[in-house]
A = this chain, B = another copy of it.
Amino acid sequence: MNISQPYLLFLGDVTDPLSAKTARGIVKWRPEACLGQLRLTEDTVSLGLTELTLEQAKQQGVKTLVIGTANAGGFIPRNWVETLIAAANLGLDIASGMHQRLTDIPELTQLADQGLIQLFDVRHNDERLAVGNGKKRSGKRLLTVGTDCSVGKMFSALAIEQALQQLNVDARFKATGQTGILIDGRGISVDAVVADFISGAVEALSPEFNDHEWDIIEGQGSLFNPSFAGVSLGLLHGAQPDALILCHEVGRQHIRHLPHAQLPTIEQTINANLLAARVTNPKVQFAGICLNTSILNESDAKELCQQWSEQFDLPVTDPVRFGVDSIANKLKTL
């Protein structure tokens, strides 16, 4: 997928700030790509961007209207459709992370079929993929892995991309999930591909390269999550990472949504990922640990990072609180 930027972020009539997480992510990591926001009501959550009508957006060079909100069920509300059709009629592409496909809206499909606009359903995958082969590819790759889902794998990858770029290292984020794809405008939703093609999808996402230094690949799930571990293993093999970053939320009691499923220890997570990753890259190593320490106060968090850093002989940080410079500096030595 290749979504044209800059964006107009569409917030619909969503009033719950949590529902605008995707839009916030885009603004945080790609502020230069966000020319403005479009809200249907006064009460709708705001990202603090310039309010633009569709016409103003078009005039200012916006290429794509992005649905930057989520809702339970993933259906596109009927009162949003009018705006989407109006945007498409102005020639704006539309990108959506909703479960319901944009291509299910006949007016949009018609314009897309005429080649006037493009529709991007980032939660789905219609690309033809090849089966992975695990052959060594040139270029250095980093993959974020985790003890579970939703422990900061995307955030850490984007933070590491940014920190490396600030050290003048040419690093490129590679998105594997819908939010990451909307942020970067590119990527493959690996959990949406047919199971046979998981590693092949990642090989296509991060092919051989020698024009930059690092691909920073967003991880998904966990080898220990009984719902999604297949995706995580295929992603690990396809990424053939040189460097792994372990992500973990301090204080999590069990696998997300599954009270009966135990969280692995840090040691188990490190060992299982190294063992599996060696199948496609015998030289793989861990290069850092990113913690979500939000349940701790700042000094306890600092102390924990310090302590684990000695225990695991790796840079350990909370990317939100302390940044990832320590990890970026280590990566420069690899």
Report A's interface with B, CB cutoff 8 A. 131-136, 190-200, 223-224, 226-235, 237-238, 255, 257-258, 260-261, 272, 275-276, 279-280
Contacts and interface: CB of A to CB of B under 8 A. Distances in A.
B199 A191 contact: no
B133 A199 contact: no
25 contacts: A131-B227, A133-B227, A133-B258, A134-B226, A134-B255, A134-B258, A136-B260, A193-B194, A193-B195, A194-B195, A195-B195, A195-B197, A195-B198, A195-B230, A199-B227, A223-B233, A226-B280, A229-B279, A230-B230, A230-B231, A230-B232, A230-B233, A230-B234, A231-B234, A272-B275
Nearest to A271: B275
A257 to B, nearest CB: 8
B230 A198 contact: yes
Given A134-B260, A136-B260, A260-B136, A231 B276 contact: no
How often does this chain occur in the complex, in copies?
2
A162 to B, nearest CB: 28
A194 B198 CA distance: 9
A230 B199 contact: yes
Contacts of A194: 191-195
A133 B132 CA distance: 27
Given A223-B276, A226-B280, A272-B275, A195 B133 contact: no
